[in-house]
Amino acid sequence: MLDVRKLLLLRELSRLGTIGAVAEAQFCTPSAVSQQLRALEREAGVPLIRRAGRRVELTPAGADLADRAIPVLALLEQAAAALAAARQELTGELHIGAFPTAVRTVLPAALVALGAEHPRLELHVTELDPADAPDALRSGALDIALVHEYDYVPAEPDPALATEPLLDETVFLAAACGTLPSAGEAGPVRGCRDRPWIVGSPGTLCHLMTVRLCQAAGFTPRIRHYADDFGAVLTLVAAGQGVALVPELALTDRPAGVELAALPAQRRTLIACRGGGSGHPAIAACAAALRAAAAGYPGVAVPGT
């Protein structure tokens, strides 16, 4: 019988393309990944991987097996959910991932409610960029996560994960008071084409969103500062250090001296878990608590309400 853990590694190799990337995503060494994949080939009885120069690629049989691994892994998640549902109360650990804005706003109320309703459920929170959450879910480091996407940075469909919408936010252009350009025909973003910009670190969704929105307005932003904490971003904006794009939830503690212009762009937050795992009682309870907490933010749209 094929080993499920090894099937997961094969699926990750199909998705990521290199042994090194699989090892990093699974928190192990490349040699350990290679050994497990060779053992899977012996179990399968046919070649699954072949060398292509310094890289490896899946054979047709390997690619087919990697695709078949997705529903197998989802069925195992469903089986674990069914076993958990048979217990009289929720116990054990639940690992939750969220991006910084959500950790400061939506998540605390959800944690309080979840802890009060299920006191024997041990909650663990990890703050991380949404770009890193899918790998953490697939590896089992997280059970449930809050992720987001922007209009200009849509998320790629991932058959290994299940998602549901949580809330939608307007994105604002932030500038020091008295310096915000008038909308005019060109729009406020194009009016800032000659200004310095404050953006997230390269590789983050916030960085990519700013670059793409500016390019859609006909220019590439001149970046002066990199900052991932929106509180720091707004402080720099208030000090006249540049302009920035800021989602609505980040404005809960906006400092004085910042002027805003609403843009026709949104950030959408989603609840994500491994495929087949949404029926797990602990994950379902956490998702319900998150939905209730999100509904407490006036002006932020909650899908389905």
Could you tell me which residues come within 8 angstroms of residue 32 by beta carbon, excluding any fewer than 6 positions away? 23
Residue 88: pLDDT above 90?
no
The segment(s) of the chain belonging to CATH 3.40.190.290 are 91-305
pLDDT classification of 300: cutoffs 50, 70, 90: low
Residue 303: pLDDT above 90?
no
Q: Which residue has the higher pLDDT, 119 or 298?
A: 119
Neighbours of 248 (CB within 10 A): 22
Alpha-helical segments (H) within the chain: 4-16, 19-25, 30-44, 60-85, 100-104, 106-117, 133-139, 205-216, 230-238, 281-294
Q: What percent of the chain has pLDDT over 70?
A: 96
8 A C-beta contact, residue 73 and residue 274: yes
**4-83, CATH topology level:** Arc Repressor Mutant, subunit A (1.10.10)
Q: What tokens appear for 277 in the block?
A: 């795992």
Residue 286: pLDDT above 90?
yes
Looking at residue 244, its pLDDT comes to: 97
Give the residue-averaged pLDDT of 215-234: 95
Give the residue-averaged pLDDT of 42-61: 88
Smallest CA-to-CA distance from 237 within 99, 182, 181, 246 is with 246
Looking at residue 183, its pLDDT comes to: 64
The residue behind tokens 């046919």 is 46
Instruction: Report the SS3 class of residue 56.
Output: strand
The pLDDT tens digits for 231-285 are 999 999 999 999 999 999 999 888 999 999 999 999 999 999 999 999 999 999 9
The residues with which 163 forms a beta bridge, in sequence order, are 272
The pLDDT tens digits for 185-197 are 568 999 999 999 9
CATH of domain 91-305: 3.40.190.290
Residue 304: pLDDT above 60?
no
Average pLDDT over the chain, rounded to whole?
A: 90
The segment(s) of the chain belonging to CATH 1.10.10.10 are 4-83
The pLDDT tens digits for 129-187 are 888 898 899 888 999 999 999 988 887 888 889 999 999 999 999 999 999 887 665 68
Give the residue-averaged pLDDT of 29-34: 90
pLDDT classification of 126: cutoffs 50, 70, 90: very high
Looking at residue 154, its pLDDT comes to: 82
The whole-angstrom separation of Cα 24 and Cα 134 is 13
